[in-house]
Structure 1
Amino acid sequence: MSETMQTSKWVRILFHLLLICLCLIIILPFMHILALAFNSGTDAATGGIWFWPRLFSIENFQEVFRQDNLLTGLGISIFRTVLGTVIGVFLMAMASWALTIPDLPFSGKITFFIFFTMLFSGGTIPYYLVLSELKLTNTIWVYIVPGLYSVTNILLLRSAFKQLPMSIVEAARIDGMGEFRIFTRIILPMSKPTLATVSLFTAVGHWNDWFAGSFYVRKAELKPLATILQEMLTRQANLADVLMRAGSGSAAYQQLDKVDITGQSLQMATIIVVILPIVIMYPFIQKYFVQGITIGSVKE
């Protein structure tokens, strides 16, 4: 008995050491990004910055927020994230609930068809042509309509709904409750952990997406925050490359040398601006996350 307790003690110690190592792997890179973002760019270029700024500066963030259409892009990102997440999660939940109905005609074939789209895609050019024919390009709806459904999220919700006690649903039907009321009053409240998990996945996907704004939208006033910041980094990198080829003797290079910003420091500040809203939102749904992602993994 004593040997078993001793073994269990060492197992717990090793487990906690492993968790500490995993936490450090996640936290230390983020601290490094913060240090570079709040450090002078030219000073950081000399190296030696790890987890604390050596020469504190907020000029990197000032450069980020100096973009003319930044507030417009922030509004576009908030609009698409909120509306796309709310509508998308609701529609995906409806589709998932329909697939759990035992007597749904062709449910197996429908599920296979949905799963098949996750394995193959038509390619970027056919996808663009479809969006163009639907009159979605150069509109704000190109951010929302194509992303209303995610096969992974539908299968996750479907697995979670199958774990719910169907006796409650049958009792509600006997009492005369309609299918839509059953879905909204019983199914959704009982599936909060999974809905929170799917909402997080969907919101992060909308917030971080720069591709749609860069390839499907030409109007500057419709570009989301992620696209604006990505284009800013591209311009900064191209400018630095051109000036480096011009040589240190050029007047433009001398002007750039007076600016206390580098491409790396600007990139780190951009990363902080983009991920900060997600970092703030995550603690509020963290308690649902693990439970929601593991639902359906164990069968009884």
Structure 2
Amino acid sequence: MGNEFYKLSVGEKIFKIVIYLLIIGLCLSIILPFMNILALSFNAGKDAERGGIYFWPRAWSTENFKEVFMSANVGTAFGISIFRTVVGTVASVFLTAMAAYALKGKTLPGVKFFTLLIFFTMLFSGGIIPYYMLLKSLNLTNTIWVYVIPSLYSAWNLIIMRTFFQQIHPSLEESARIDGYNDFSIFMRIIMPLSRPVVAVIALFNAVSHWNDWFTGAFYVRSSNLRPLSTLLQEMLMQAEAMRDTLSQAAGANYDALEKIQVTGNSLKMATIVIVVTPIILIYPFIQKYFAKGVMIGSLKE
């Protein structure tokens, strides 16, 4: 805390100590469960069923991860997930930013109507069946573009970006127009460079959503070659648990086979969690400084 801590009053010292304790408690509540998941993922599933594993594996094993990567479609699933995450995130951020820039001012005819219309979509949903019928009528089902096109725009993300754009001083745009810049040039050369914090936040939200989404691949895609990693891992997990339950019900006839199985449904689940969250953990440190600024959007007004 430094020497400044000793210069504070008793009340301020107590307040600071409480805040630090709360932050430490919050950090531990996030780190410790993940350490437990990591330990279980690298522990033999059969041994883990005995319990007593907290933050360090008791019987080291990579069988859980081997079981995941032994799938014939895992390479294709990785490619699908990377494609949809990169293309979907870049396209969504760019198009959402363009729409937010158009709605930020009062020069667009009917700007209030369009803003209200966009906000209305946040309050009501058509439902899964009408949504599926819409995708089918657009020939998006069972194609790779079903992961990208429907998620290009988000009303919430658009409002966040519009709020940030409104905080950029209008004099910058006026100076650019005097220098001969058109709207697109102002957007690309002034607005976007100044909006890195909000762009980083929206990009992170989009990337996490794309990477973790298993629902779209499970319900709107029939081909196994078009399923992303999250959907494939979800199916593998369900199959492993179903196989385990089947062998358990027939333990008398399959006792030897049951004993040979070292990968359990729970251990496979832990390995799946580690595989899914690792890319996000690796990317986050590079955009942390922008994310910290972006979460303060709208908190200050000039």
Cα RMSD of the aligned pairs, angstroms, is 1.3
The runs of 4+ residues in structure 1 deviating greater than 6 Å are: none
Partner of 2:297: 295
Unaligned runs of 5+ in 2: 1-5
What is the match of residue 256 of structure 1? 258
Question: For 1:243, which of 225, 242, 247 is the aligned residue?
Answer: 247
> For each residue in 1:221-265, what CA deviation from the matched residue of structure 2 results, as whole angstroms up to 9, or x when unmatched?
11100000000011112222222223x1123x5313202111100
1:124 and 1:156 map into 2 onto residues whose CA distance is 26
Assess if the C-alpha contact under 8 Å between 2:105 and 2:166 holds in 1: no
Mapped to 2, the partners of 1:4 and 1:167 lie a distance apart of: 43
| Cα distance between partner residues in 1 of 2:77 and 2:14 | 52
Alignment match of 2:136 (pick from 132, 138, 145): 132
How far the C-alpha of 1:298 sits from its partner, in A, is 2.4
Task: Give 1:14 shift.
Answer: 1.6
Three-state SS of the structure 2 residue aligned to 1:268 is: helix
Q: Can you list the C-alpha shifts for 1:253-292, whole angstroms capped at 9, x where unaligned?
A: 5313202111100000000001100000000001111211
Residue 156 of structure 2 aligns to a residue whose secondary structure is helix
**Separation in structure 1 between the aligned mates of residue 188 and residue 30 of structure 2, nearest angstrom:** 38
TM-score with structure 2 length normalisation?
0.96
Structure 1: gaps of 5 or more residues? none
Partner of 1:31: 35
Distance of 1:75 and 1:211 partners within structure 2: 17
Task: Indicate which of 96, 99, 102 corresponds to 1:98.
Answer: 102
| Counterpart pick for 2:198 among 184, 188, 194 | 194
Q: TM-score, normalised on structure 1?
A: 0.96
Residue by residue, what CA displacement relative to the aligned partner does 1:155-187 show, whole Å, maximum 9, x if unpaired? Answer: 110110010011000111121101001000000
Q: How many residues align?
A: 297
> 1 CA distance for matches of 2:199 and 2:137?
33
> Partner of 1:182 in structure 2?
186
Q: Does 1:107 align with 2:73?
A: no
Q: For residues 122 and 189 of structure 2, what CA distance do their matches in structure 1 show?
A: 31
What is the Cα deviation at residue 89 of structure 1?
0.3
